[in-house]
């Protein structure tokens, strides 16, 4: 009985043999992908309302500054962050609130910029 060069037990040199990644390499690749995703989400958040002083989140009252900032969530893991600090900052000719958040789950930090706009009284 003659055996052919390309058999199921012996792949031909033209066939692609999938290499298996080691567990550590898979974990490293997964962690790197998560870091890239987090960086992309941070860049997108900077363009949304509240992401920078140029684009503040607008609220009607000072009492809802912190709840609105917390509602934005963590950019890394979507958990609920806690408020670390809140201060008033003068940017150009207007006063903005800067809310510093820290994620309860992963520890990621974030700043949210808020402008208080009063409602028109009818």
pLDDT at 28: 93
Confidence of residue 21 (pLDDT cuts 50, 70, 90): confident
Report d(CA 42, CA 77) in Å as an integer: 12
| Range 70-94 average pLDDT | 93
Q: Is the pTM of this model over 0.75?
A: no
Residue 4 is classified by DSSP as P
Q: What is the mean pLDDT of residues 96-102?
A: 96
- Each domain of the chain, given as residue ranges in start order, spans 23-116
The tokens for 6 are 């390309």
Q: Is the pLDDT of residue 17 over 60?
A: no
Cα-based torsion angle of the residue sequence 50, 56, 59, 62 in order, rounded to the nearest 10 degrees: 90
């Amino acid at each position: 009985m003659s055996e052919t060069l390309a058999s199921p037990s012996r792949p031909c040199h033209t066939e692609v043999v999938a290499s298996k990644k080691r567990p550590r390499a898979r974990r490293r690749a997964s962690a790197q992908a998560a870091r890239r995703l987090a960086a992309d989400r941070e860049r997108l958040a900077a363009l949304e309302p509240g992401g920078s002083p140029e684009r503040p989140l607008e609220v009607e009252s000072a009492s809802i500054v912190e709840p609105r900032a917390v509602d934005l969530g963590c950019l890394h893991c979507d958990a609920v962050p806690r408020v670390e600090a809140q201060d008033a900052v003068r940017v150009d000719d207007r006063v903005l609130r800067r809310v510093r958040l820290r994620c309860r789950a992963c520890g990621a930090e974030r700043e949210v910029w808020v402008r208080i706009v009063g409602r028109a009284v009818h």
